A = this chain, B = another copy of it.
Amino acid sequence: MANPTAAMLVIGDEILSGRTRDSNMHFLAGELTKNGIDLKQVRVVSDDRVAIIDAARALSDTHDVVFTSGGIGPTHDDITADCIAAAFDAPIDVRDDARKILEDHYQKSGHRLNAARLRMARIPDGATLIDNPVSRAPGFTISNVHVMAGVPQVFQAMVASVLPTLTGGAPLMSQSLQVFRGEGDIAETLSQFAERYADLSIGCYPFQKDGAFGANIVIRGQDGTRVDAAMTELARALAL
Q: Is the CB of A182 within 8 A of B111?
A: yes
- Check if A183 is an interface residue, CB within 8 A of chain B: yes
Find the B residue at minimum CB distance from A184. B117
Residues of B within 8 A of A21 (CB): 23, 26
The listed residue (B17, B77, B206) touching A204 by CB distance below 8 A is: B77
Cβ B111 vs Cβ A184 within 8 A: yes
For chain A, give the interface size range: 35 or more
Chain A 201-223 per-residue mask, 1 if CB under 8 angstroms from chain B, else 0: 11111111000010000101000
Contacts of A18 in B (CB 8 A): 26-33, 39
Give A99 Cβ to nearest chain B Cβ, in Å: 14
Question: How distant is the Cα of A67 from the Cα of B183 in the complex, in angstroms?
Answer: 24
Q: Which of chain B's residues have a CB closer than 8 A to the CB of A220?
A: 17
Asked whether any CB of chain B lies closer than 8 Å to the CB of A103, the reply is no
Q: A16-B40, A40-B16, A43-B41 are in contact. Are A183 and B33 (CB under 8 A)?
A: no
Contact of A172 among B15, B17, B20, B47 (CB under 8 A): B17
In the bound complex, how far is the Cα of B205 from the Cα of A200, in angstroms? 42
In the bound complex, residues from chain B placing their C-beta under 8 Å from that of A45 are 40-41
Contact mask for chain A residues 60-72; partner B; CB cutoff 8 A; 1 contact, 0 none: 0000000000000
A residues 142-165 with Cβ under 8 Å of B? Answer: 151, 153
Segment among A86-94, A188-196, A227-235 that sits at the interface with chain B? A188-196
Q: Chain B residues near A128 (CB, 8 Å)?
A: none
Bound together, the chains give a CA A27 to CA B18 distance in angstroms of: 7
In the A-B complex, the 10 residue pairs with the smallest Cβ-Cβ separation, listed nearest first, are: A116-B187, A18-B30, A18-B29, A117-B184, A42-B44, A76-B191, A75-B204, A21-B26, A74-B187, A74-B184
